[in-house]
A and B are shown apart, each in its own frame.
Chain A
Amino acid sequence: MIVALELEVPPRAEYIAIVRLVVSSLASGRRNLADERLDDLKLAVSEACTNAVEAHTRAGTTDPVKIRVLEADERIEVEITDRGGGFDPDRLPLHPPVTDPSRLDFERGLGIPLIRTLVDLARFERLEDGTRLRMVVFGGPAGDGGDETTEILRAVLADED
């Protein structure tokens, strides 16, 4: 595992596109990462940065949001650390089902469910003054669930959780 990239950006919405671009450029160099997975990672990074920037805004801090990308042969990891006061990812309000007319009352709160669906592993760590989100995407080909090694790694990591 090597640290491929470390970034600090001001907690402002206009910087999120830059983070997205930098992380996806780096990941696009990975031979075994299908385009579809690259899109997944790009969207997950954007959602995570949006949450981080909004948390900093709520907490009234101008401290930077920190992004770290780590790479190994079989996976890429992105860590996003904010100092926005922290939250409990397991106690988020649930949306009504999509068939319920009141679903239209909810314009927010889709980011974390999206992140959890898009990446292979998403782990939220509560820090003293914020949150660190670690997201892992395995480099195997999309669609068939990856090769045997990826499947084994996925199983091992899932057990760790």
Chain B
Amino acid sequence: MELGLEVDDTRPPHTVLSVTGEVDVYTAPRLREKLVELSSQGHRQIVVDLEGVDFLDSTGLGVLVGGLKRLRSNDGDLGLVCTQTRILKVFEITGLTKVFSISASVDEALAG
């Protein structure tokens, strides 16, 4: 199972991390490593684009919560891009829609 992670740092001050594939307990550690790496490189405003994600479970949610916490403690933020009902549902059930800023497109997230 492949997890795709692509970084676009051409739109400062934001860094866009596009995730594709399935995020579960097997693949989530790679997403965590990437977020830690970006934040330790000084990227403070990260937008995680989830439009290419086919599946996301609570392990993936946990990694995103951890990333948000790490960035906020450094005066940064982590925003999400997601319009897929099945992925949004996981955030809604867990109440995390109130914790994350969720945009409908990368442009909207960068403008916000």
Contacts and interface: CB of A to CB of B under 8 A. Distances in A.
| Same complex | yes
A107 B65 contact: yes
Contact of A46 (B24, B61, B69, B89): B24
A105 interface: yes
Contacts, number: 69
User: Interface residues of A toward B: which range?
Assistant: 20 to 34
B57 A13 contact: no
Interface string B37-79: 0000000000000000001011101110110110010000000
B10 interface: no
B25 to A, nearest CB: 5
Given A13-B26, A17-B1, A42 B55 contact: yes
B98 interface: yes
Secondary structure class of chain A's binding surface, majority of residues: helix
A53 B25 contact: yes
Contact of A17 (B24, B65, B68, B90): B24
A129 interface: no
Contacts of B25: 13, 16, 50, 53-54
Interface string A115-129: 001100000000000
Interface of B: 1, 22, 24-26, 55, 57-59, 61-63, 65-66, 68-69, 72, 85-86, 89-90, 93-96, 98-99
27 contacts: A13-B24, A14-B1, A14-B26, A16-B24, A16-B26, A36-B86, A39-B86, A43-B55, A43-B90, A46-B24, A47-B58, A50-B24, A50-B59, A54-B25, A103-B99, A104-B68, A104-B99, A107-B62, A108-B58, A110-B61, A110-B62, A110-B94, A113-B93, A114-B57, A114-B90, A114-B93, A118-B93
